Structure 1
């Protein structure tokens, strides 16, 4: 149900990050004290039904989707599926005496042929038995051994005919991209250890490089394997835009753990899903944070004139939580914010909402504090980048970052990740792990086809590491599944991301 102003009804829920002290302004939270790394342990082994939908009286009907979006482009570089040649029909018995109305010869010749046949079958049976015993021994050694490459038996079990997952990442994201693929590998490994099915799940990884159309097409082409029943990724909005139609036309369900561009929901992609709030959800959360928690309702919006940031500014202006006093556009890679800062006092702004890059946010924070403005600066996940801390320094006081990413809520996952990689999981690791768990949980229910996985994704909600999730008809999270986390950006530029969790904003 929509309110008269077009917004959806919203409310706070229980924050997943308990506040150890009152929510204060102007005092950055201290980073947690370093501790010894936990002892190595086996990765968490979720049960195959970890992502199973909760029971209900009757499965919901598939939601109505928007109208057709026109012709779908065929998947890039997709080679035709090669089907095995049909077996030749059995031929009738033939011989020198065979012919119309005559049967195969009888007598000693046939008896001798029968004896030879039995001998051949016996020899083959011996070979098959020995091979099966050796294969089983190799499989046991491979599954119980500590570390090392998988045994030949495991590779065969996870070969053609067994379901596979794809991962489409972006090395340009640096540590965030690396943490995402690490988390997916952990989920697949844990599933293969815990599953009772005979097939092990393969993971096929690819990368979109610098994000050019040719690189994205080449990345998607790696998924031209009928055994792949689901994909984790892409990680970036631009990659979703370039790869989405190709994945959709291949009937390949994909779940992005980090792309929040709201336009993807308007493309009528049947197989698109995301475990991440949209940029508009983040804007709603920023308005709620400023108006209800920080009591700084008079907001100055600063950002670029691109479509995404203009949509966020329009969403903020439509909110009843705050009053937007002005929207100030800036150029790309702006470093001088003097003209912006000089407008704050005449306009009576009490806070600033910024939608630009990490470097720009750092320069803006420094300019605001130098001019004596002490009100809150609120931005997106760019404020979690080390580049923001490097630019802002101590001027980063009283700034808040909003992000759909969350701290992993499973201690076993954090311990296993840290033990294996010698550093804690980054901001996209938990979402990537949950996206993989979601698809693996469906496979664990013996759903082995793309169509079956796609159909199962409609029948949520699903309980994952980060909470309870369900999808709308456009592949977005339903309103009850959205949590936008509020962080205090760290001021130590040597840190990986400076994520100091404060609370979360949930919508009903």
Structure 2
């Protein structure tokens, strides 16, 4: 006859045996998120990281089962510093770690060179912020984005400049990054097609904060609009210096200047309605409650508002996992075809890709700033 002690011991052994079997059925799935968490736009990269992390936390709370196994998602985060060389080094590191999918990179200059490395390894990559058309025009079936591209974004800005602002003379400045240069070139093309004259084309770099020489040259051309292909870290000081030089032109730009941080960076250089910018994404009225709910949850989780890309990183990761569920596999080779055909209802709208990995029916949100706050003008396609 077993003693009470022996009975407890046997019960414990049986319990551990069942526990071990359960643990054996749990599968770790490693997903990566990459963006600039050091450098001038580190806060934007952190926003991206926080959005992806919210998705991971939600998925692990729900308890997802794929292929008969309970999945535990692990997020590997890497800093590419917005630098192409560091971006490719990080990409190779993640390939070596055998990640099963990548959310990133943020900037075109890092996403484009890294995409070749992921493609060669057969690892799906969804960027939450890359807008340069080249990113999805390389023939890589592993490459996707959840935002509009520069052609779509620049088209909307070019039309707005001419048709709504009635701009006749436009000066263009770009920061020579893949993002800034690509956006400026597309905008120039679209603004000319709409009837505007480009009176000046100037170049800077993404680390610059002194634009006085460029702006002094531009001032003599008396432009109605200055288009800046660059980041908010450059747009802020540029707006202050425009005010100092008495330049009355409006500034236009893409999603990288269209952040909640711009008023802080520009200070008293930002007047009401002076900046018109477009974010590569956005929801119509019917979809706004879901996005608003995400923003509320984000603020409760992190103690501050979304900067810009967190919802897109969240949607990118959720889209990737839904593809795994549809394919009933976490193997990149198996779930990749499901990802290409996905239609995921996200907080930023419906995520569905064309044959290149671009968004079908991509939306754009036009913004201005009033009283130091980013204000929606409207959502367009």
Asked if Structure 1 and Structure 2 have the same fold, meaning a TM-score greater than 0.5 normalized by the shorter chain, the answer is yes
Aligned to 1:130: 15
Question: How far off its partner does 1:382 sit?
Answer: 2.3
2:232–2:265 contact (8 Å) kept in structure 1: no
**2:357 corresponds to 1:485:** no
Q: Which has the larger radius of gyration?
A: 1
Aligned to 1:329: 202
Indicate the larger mover: 300-309 or 424-433: 300-309
Identify which of 360, 374, 380 aligns with 1:499: 374
Distance, in Å, in 2 between the alignment partners of 1:359 and 1:200 is 40
- Which runs of structure 2 are paired with 1:364-443 in the superposition (5 Å)? 364-366=238-240, 368-369=242-243, 374-380=248-254, 381-382=256-257, 384=259, 386=261, 389-391=264-266, 393-397=268-272, 398-404=274-280, 406=282, 409-443=290-324
Indicate the larger mover: 169-178 or 372-381: 372-381
Higher relative contact order at CA 8 Å, sep ≥6: structure 1 or structure 2? 1
2:199–2:221 contact (8 Å) kept in structure 1: no
Number of aligned residue pairs: 351
Indicate the larger mover: 176-185 or 359-368: 359-368
1:166–1:204 contact (8 Å) kept in structure 2: yes
**2:332 corresponds to 1:450:** yes
**2:347 corresponds to 1:472:** no
- Which runs of structure 2 are paired with 1:12-411 in the superposition (5 Å)? 129-134=14-19, 153=23, 157-159=25-27, 162-172=28-38, 173-195=41-63, 197=65, 198-210=69-81, 211=83, 213=85, 216-218=88-90, 220-225=92-97, 228-303=99-174, 309=180, 311-319=182-190, 320-332=193-205, 333=208, 334-336=210-212, 337-344=215-222, 349-358=223-232, 360-366=234-240, 368-369=242-243, 374-380=248-254, 381-382=256-257, 384=259, 386=261, 389-391=264-266, 393-397=268-272, 398-404=274-280, 406=282, 409-411=290-292
Distance, in Å, in 1 between the alignment partners of 2:295 and 2:103 is 20
Question: How far off its partner does 1:233 sit?
Answer: 1.3
Question: How far off its partner does 1:261 sit?
Answer: 2.3
Question: How far off its partner does 1:425 sit?
Answer: 2.5
Q: Which has the higher strand share?
A: 2
Residues 437 and 283 (structure 1 numbering): CA distance in 2 closer, same or farther, change over 3 Å?
A: same
RMSD of equivalent CA atoms: 3.2
Distance, in Å, in 2 between the alignment partners of 1:133 and 1:309 is 57
Post-superposition Cα deviations, 1:261-302, rounded to whole Å, max 9, x if no partner, equal: 222223222201111222332211211221233333543333
- Gaps of at least 5 residues in structure 1 are 1-124, 140-152, 493-497
Aligned to 1:49: none
